[in-house]
Structure 1
Amino acid sequence: MSSVLFVCVHNAGRSQMAAAFLAHLSEGRIEVRSAGSAPAGSVNPAVVQAMAEAGIDLSAEVPKILTPEAVQTSDVVVTMGCGDTCPYFPGKRYLDWRVPDPAGQGVAAVRPIRDEIRERVRGLIAELGG
């Protein structure tokens, strides 16, 4: 089973949405993690609302700290705006998804970000054969 780690700074928006979509759309065929280099206290409420509109409940999710172990145990690491704070390990496949940050945005601004992430996740599932 492939494993994917999504990383952003706060683990409160983009990486949470990507992880939730991958878990949902791969129906458990791909192991999914998400983390942040400087995790926020909670998931962005506009992100929770936008994902609820897509049928995915993020209300119980909590931002998690990025650890070297999380990177080492993942096959693919998808960075989403964390830049140089993401640890690098040789032999891992890294993808950098440049997706707008939903921080401080209302749900109307989060919806197109959510939809872009969903399409990127669909493409990743196709690549991984999940």
Structure 2
Amino acid sequence: MEVLFICRANVGRSQMAPAFFNRLSKKHKAVGAGTHVGNHEGEPLHPFVVQCMSEVDYDLSKNTRKQLTPEMVKNSDKIIVMTEKENLPNFVDMSKVVFWEIDDAKDKSLEFHRQIRDQIKSLVEKLVKEIE
């Protein structure tokens, strides 16, 4: 099974979630992308994301931002959306979608990023238990 994690800019939430998932899952894999990456594709992640993940032994320092594509949607079995429904392009197969309510950490503090990280980790742990 391939899980696709989506957020708006692929700078935080949809970077953290696949990192947790791919370490926890023995059978499945995950990728992440953003709905509105635009001309920021390939750019590094926000420093707070890299820092708060390194605090829990995940190195995202070389990760870069990726724009959501129809191919990613097609190749996924489950899609976890961490942004508002209206941000989704019309090519997203809604039959595969599950929404997670996780606030966007844009322009927020390092402490807020840590809270989001912990919330995502908890949800990913539950997801892995469900599908393993």
Looking at structure 2, the residues matched to 83 and 10 of structure 1 have their Cα atoms a distance apart, in angstroms, of 14
Match of 1:13 in 2: 12
Deviation at 1:33, TM superposition (A): 0.8
1:31 maps to amino acid: K
* 1:43 partner amino acid: L
Instruction: Tell me if structure 1 keeps the 8 A contact 2:44–2:61.
Output: no
Q: Are the aligned partners of 1:37 and 1:82 in contact in 2 as well (CA < 8 Å)? A: no
- Work out the CA distance in 2 between the residues paired with 1:83 and 1:46: 26
1:38 corresponding residue in structure 2: 36
Partner of 1:66: 68
Residue 120 of structure 1 aligns to a residue whose secondary structure is helix
> Which runs of no fewer than 5 residues in structure 1 stay unpaired?
none
2:93 corresponds to: 89
Find the aligned partners of 2:46 and 2:24 in 1 and give their Cα distance: 22
Instruction: Tell me what 1:56 maps to.
Output: 58
Q: For 1:98 and 1:42, locate their aligned partners in 2 and report how far apart those are by CA, in whole Å.
A: 24
1:94-113 to structure 2, matched below 5 A, reads 94-113=97-116
Write the deviation string for residues 56-86 of structure 1: whole angstroms up to 9, x where unpaired: 0000000101001100110000011142332
**Structure 2: gaps (5+ residues):** none
State the TM-score, normalizing by the size of structure 2.
0.89
Structure-1 separation of matches of 2:113 and 2:65: 18
Q: 1:47·1:102 contact (CA, 8 Å) conserved in 2?
A: no
User: Which stretches of structure 1, 4 residues or longer, exceed 3 Å deviation after superposition?
Assistant: none
Give the TM-score of the pair, scaled to structure 1. 0.90
Q: Please name the residue that 1:4 is paired with.
A: 3
2:117 counterpart of 1:114? yes
| Two-structure CA RMSD over aligned residues (Å) | 1.4
Equivalent residue of 2:23, what SS?
helix
Distance 1:65 1:46 in 2: 21
Q: Deviations over 1:65-110 (max 9, x none)?
A: 10011001100000111423323326x4211111011111221111
Q: Letter of the aligned partner of 1:89 in structure 2?
A: D
Q: Share of identical aligned residues, percent?
A: 36
The corresponding residue for 1:26 is 25
